[in-house]
């Protein structure tokens, strides 16, 4: 037994060393804004370069996606790609017309959904704005199924991204879409769904002057403390159990040159379809994790002192009006949906507004936190 424990500790120590080495190497790299793109710019011969602001407004963007939809929906080969066109109307008389390649993405949604998420690659880049670079690839999150309930799920997931942006600019920007799927083989009628464009990683890196860190050896203790604590409490607030820093499951990790504590990562969450805010009928927690429904909250943040938890929770209380404003001012969400989400968040905030409730919540965090 003693030898087994020593081996366990050695392996844990090795993982920590690998993680620290990865961060040290990345800290020596130039900031994202300093990467030399001269060669790329020299090979870019787009004479009709035009700009579109994807993420500067909350208005729905309508797009038309032409592809072999019938074959795409069969999902025979996860690695398959599909050539097509994406048309983005700019006005009644003008539009962007781009050749694209569409690939499957996602894991659980690929298996579960009739309409799996996509990664859209533009043959010639899409220029988001004059100072934020070009978009070569972008994630498109589709409705899982073709019914009004799943329209609601997409709009709610979009709002979770917007809620997290209340806390920090180091978050993915998103744009709600109305996607017109048009089958190029004309074997089925056009389908109109809601969807989400998620800001490409390259744009996020450039906007935040950061670089992505890709290593499975990272844990929450390798993250910038204020950011990982904020994320852990946010995931508790929206009831998100489907995330993890090790393995970077639904979490992207950035290394920023702006922060004083060099070598620490910044977690950026994504994919919120299983949260209690979305409340999807398929969001069933796996057995054995300690909750029975997707609206049962669980805390999986790193262990801190009660004083640290108190400070973070009071910061959330200060932002309560901003959170609720995101929900109540969004025009594409019904009154019933707004009421459902705010009542769900009330369960969290009512604890923060009373000293005893705040103390009880801190005790819950202390009892369930990860001891790393």
Instruction: Report which secondary-structure segment, H or E, holds 67.
Output: strand 61-67
**Token output for 54:** 């994807």
For position 262, what pLDDT does the model report? 63
For position 11, what pLDDT does the model report? 46
Residues 245 and 144 in one domain: no
Is the pLDDT confidence value at 33 over 50?
no
In a domain, 126, yes or no: yes
Among candidate residues 203, 222, 257, the one where a domain is terminated? 203
Among candidate residues 141, 171, 203, the one where a domain is terminated? 203
- Domain harbouring 281, CATH code: 1.10.1070
Tens digits of residue pLDDT in 91-128: 888 999 999 999 999 888 899 999 999 999 999 999 88
| Higher-scoring residue by pLDDT: 39, 254 | 254
Is the Cβ–Cβ distance between 123 and 115 less than 8 Å? no
Give, to the nearest 10 degrees, the angle between helix 148-165 and helix 320-328. 150
**Residue-number span of the structural domain to which 248 is assigned:** 209-368
Average pLDDT over residues 318-333: 96
In a domain, 195, yes or no: yes
Residues 151 and 226 in one domain: no
Is the pLDDT confidence value at 319 over 50?
yes
Residues 174 and 241 in one domain: no
In a domain, 110, yes or no: yes
Residues 196 and 213 in one domain: no
Residues 175 and 247 in one domain: no
Is the pLDDT confidence value at 14 over 50?
no
In a domain, 36, yes or no: no
Among candidate residues 174, 203, 232, the one where a domain is terminated? 203
Residues 184 and 225 in one domain: no
Tens digits of residue pLDDT in 249-308: 999 999 987 665 567 999 999 999 999 999 999 999 999 999 999 999 999 999 999 999
For position 49, what pLDDT does the model report? 74
Q: How many domains does the chain have?
A: 2
In a domain, 17, yes or no: no
In a domain, 313, yes or no: yes
Q: Which of 69-78, 132-141, 267-276, 331-340 is predicted with the least confidence, judged by mean pLDDT?
A: 132-141
The proportion of the chain whose per-residue pLDDT surpasses 90, expressed as a percent, equals 75
Tens digits of residue pLDDT in 48-91: 578 888 998 999 999 999 999 999 999 999 999 999 999 999 88
Residues in the chain: 372
The proportion of the chain whose per-residue pLDDT surpasses 70, expressed as a percent, equals 85
Residues 198 and 268 in one domain: no
Q: Pairing mode, if any, of strands 61-67 and 174-183?
A: parallel
Residues 197 and 214 in one domain: no
Q: Give CA separation, 223 vs 46, 172, 217, 234, 323, in Å.
A: 40, 18, 12, 16, 24
Residues 240 and 178 in one domain: no
Is the Cβ–Cβ distance between 246 and 219 less than 8 Å? yes
Instruction: Report which secondary-structure segment, H or E, holds 52.
Output: none
Is the pLDDT confidence value at 12 over 70?
no
In a domain, 193, yes or no: yes
Is the Cβ–Cβ distance between 21 and 97 less than 8 Å? no
| Higher-scoring residue by pLDDT: 367, 108 | 367
For position 7, what pLDDT does the model report? 39
In a domain, 21, yes or no: no
Residues 60 and 174 in one domain: yes
Residues 55 and 174 in one domain: yes
Tell me the backbone φ, ψ of residue 10, rounded to 5 degrees.
-65, -45
Confidence of residue 362 (pLDDT cuts 50, 70, 90): very high
Residues 174 and 285 in one domain: no
Tell me the backbone φ, ψ of residue 133, rounded to 5 degrees.
85, -170
Residues with Cβ within 8 Å of 37's Cβ and at least 6 positions away in sequence, in order, are none
């Amino acid at each position: 037994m003693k030898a087994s424990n020593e081996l366990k500790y050695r392996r844990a120590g090795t993982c920590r060393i690998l993680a620290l080495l990865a961060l040290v190497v990345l800290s020596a790299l130039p900031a994202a804004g300093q990467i030399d793109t001269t060669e790329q710019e020299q090979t870019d011969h787009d004479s009709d370069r035009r700009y579109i602001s994807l993420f500067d407004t909350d208005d729905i963007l309508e797009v038309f996606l032409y592809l072999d939809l019938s074959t795409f929906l069969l999902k025979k080969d996860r690695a398959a790609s599909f050539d097509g066109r994406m048309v983005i109307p700019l006005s009644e008389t003008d539009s962007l017309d781009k050749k694209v390649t569409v690939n499957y993405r996602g894991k659980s949604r690929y298996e579960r959904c009739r309409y799996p998420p996509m990664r859209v690659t533009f043959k010639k880049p899409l220029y988001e704005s004059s100072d934020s670079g070009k978009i070569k690839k972008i994630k498109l999150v589709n409705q899982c199924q073709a019914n009004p309930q799943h329209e609601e799920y997409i709009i709610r997931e979009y709002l979770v991204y917007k809620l997290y942006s209340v806390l920090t600019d180091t978050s993915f920007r998103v744009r709600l879409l109305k996607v017109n799927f048009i089958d190029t083989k004309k074997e089925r009628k056009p389908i109109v769904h809601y969807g989400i464009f998620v800001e490409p990683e390259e744009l996020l890196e450039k906007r935040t002057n950061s670089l992505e860190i890709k290593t499975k050896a990272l844990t929450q203790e390798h993250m910038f403390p204020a950011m990982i604590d904020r994320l852990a409490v946010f995931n508790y607030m929206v009831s998100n159990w489907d995330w993890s820093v090790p393995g970077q499951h639904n979490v992207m990790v950035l290394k920023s040159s702006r922060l004083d504590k060099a070598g620490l990562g910044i977690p950026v969450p994504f994919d919120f379809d299983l949260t209690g805010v979305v409340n999807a009928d398929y969001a069933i927690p796996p057995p054995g994790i300690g909750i029975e429904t997707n609206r049962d909250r669980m805390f999986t943040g790193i262990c801190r002192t009660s004083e640290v938890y108190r400070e973070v929770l009071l910061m959330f209380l200060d932002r309560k009006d901003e959170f609720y404003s995101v929900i109540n001012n969004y025009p594409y969400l019904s009154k019933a949906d707004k009421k459902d989400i705010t009542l769900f968040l009330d369960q969290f905030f009512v604890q923060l507004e009373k000293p005893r409730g705040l103390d009880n919540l801190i005790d819950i965090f202390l009892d369930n936190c990860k001891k790393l």
